[in-house]
Chain A
């Protein structure tokens, strides 16, 4: 187990390194002149050159990379070119909002998708299974902003039950005051993944129910419900649970679109705004945070999978 954890930690480190280099190179080739972004079009070439010098942007790339990573690790994230505020506190606040939204989405995804998948798997080929299968295929095909839009039209415009705009005053989230603003974004974020996880669960359930030990248990005369609950579920749920944790990348990407649709102040909309406004340090910081989340959750998924499934080779 220790060796497994060490090895996983090493690949985690290497992934983070490669991804940070990728982000740095991509942002270095971006046709953005930071001095122009900061000083505006009325500035003279001389002042722009001076600022470029001051920001250290004319040094060689490897030196700039080391400098950038060092500053990032020390929490020295600098100021936004566009907003003129320190990046770290802004990112922290936005990240918290996004995490609340993501956790809410996951609490919808996990029970709903596992239940649907297990039911479909047990009733393979029957009408229940066919409708769940087709429904989940359709749900994974509909882009998140389309779902969000339909939910807004139904619940906000037509029924007038929930707000379609989730912007928060001062970006501060107060769950007691703002919970209504979270409902539609959370269901939108959950929608696509429910279909996906349900499909994985269904396939996993079918393969477990067809295996020899389940047939033995049934032939032994154990009640069907007992076999499903005690024998089958334990093994059938390993794959979907591991899949859910690897879908954090998808969730983060989905949040970029969903947060913009609902004007919700999260890390995704922060990144999209930064990208649209050429705000280089903000792009880098929010991208780094997002991939840290993703890579860490994948490592967590691997460890979880190893713990759940003792048969996995740990070497």
Chain B
């Protein structure tokens, strides 16, 4: 360090917190990407469905029509009917809400767990870090669908338990990402400056480090919500999702699969709904990552 000059904290740029990505710039790059805009369009569509799909649905989710079992798509039933004569189109629209809300809640839960674990491990370091990250590695080695199945069998299938299982499954990866980001920051000069100012550990973690890691963590969370939808579909497909009669898309696929020979379109509609929802999350997240790289 140059000792000839007095240490002037206000003018040394390296001692000031790094600039966060500027949102107008990120937004502009984002809006230029065609795939990102397609993703945003799809995502907006499903978010609106999650809000008002239940009001727009032409039939009730459990409204059965006598003698209308496995009907082909028609003017009355745009996507046909299922094994109980229920309108598939209405069930897809009504099911959008839980398919968006439950994965979002599970990722919120996973963020609470994962970010606090990652912050602690990364900032405190030492043997605590070593132990925590070993356990996280082992948890990440567990085949994720298998982990969900075991958790659901252990605590039972319900909407709340699906959220818990998906959240526990996603937390280790978030913890690992957070820890990596913290390790990257903790030896920077603006942290050392804060430490020299005599700030407390909690202040440094919450006011200096946390704001600098939120952007990558939020983008990652988008991908995670996509994956949570993916996994929730798989759980529903295996019969361990949100219990009937709620319109769980994965369960609708597995129920309609038995009628594939009679009516191949019946499982396709809820299946395509899941796929387009997951694709929309991934396209938006990918567009955000690219846009933030440019800035």
Contacts and interface: CB of A to CB of B under 8 A. Distances in A.
Interface of A: 11, 14-15, 18-19, 22-23, 26-27, 29-32, 134, 137-138, 140-146, 149-150, 152-153, 157-158, 164, 249-250, 252-254, 256-257, 260-261, 271-272, 275-276, 278, 283, 287, 290-291, 294-295, 298
Interface stretch (B90-98, B113-121, B187-195, B269-277): B269-277
B143 A294 contact: yes
B224 to A, nearest CB: 13
Given A143-B278, A271-B146, A276-B239, A15 B234 contact: no
Interface of B: 35, 134-135, 137-138, 141-146, 149-154, 156, 226, 230, 233-234, 237-240, 250, 253-254, 257, 260-261, 264, 267-268, 271-272, 274-275, 278-279, 281-283, 286
A112 to B, nearest CB: 20
Contact of B253 (A142, A146, A294): A146
B153 A275 contact: yes
A280 to B, nearest CB: 9
Contact of A157 (B35, B154, B156, B261): B261
A138 B226 CA distance: 12
A141 B230 contact: yes
Closest 7 CB pairs of A and B: A253-B145, A253-B143, A141-B279, A146-B271, A252-B143, A141-B278, A142-B275
Given A14-B134, A137-B282, A294-B142, A143 B268 contact: no
A27 B147 CA distance: 12
A276 B268 contact: no
Contacts of A158: 264
Contacts of A152: 260
Given A15-B141, A291-B142, A298-B141, A149 B226 contact: no
A145 B253 contact: yes
Nearest to B267: A149
A146 B146 CA distance: 19
A23 B233 CA distance: 24
Contacts of B261: 157
Given A18-B135, A141-B282, A290-B143, A23 B271 contact: no
Contacts of B282: 137-138, 140-141
B153 A283 contact: yes
Contacts of B141: 15, 19, 249, 291, 294-295, 298
A32 B281 CA distance: 37
Nearest to B147: A253
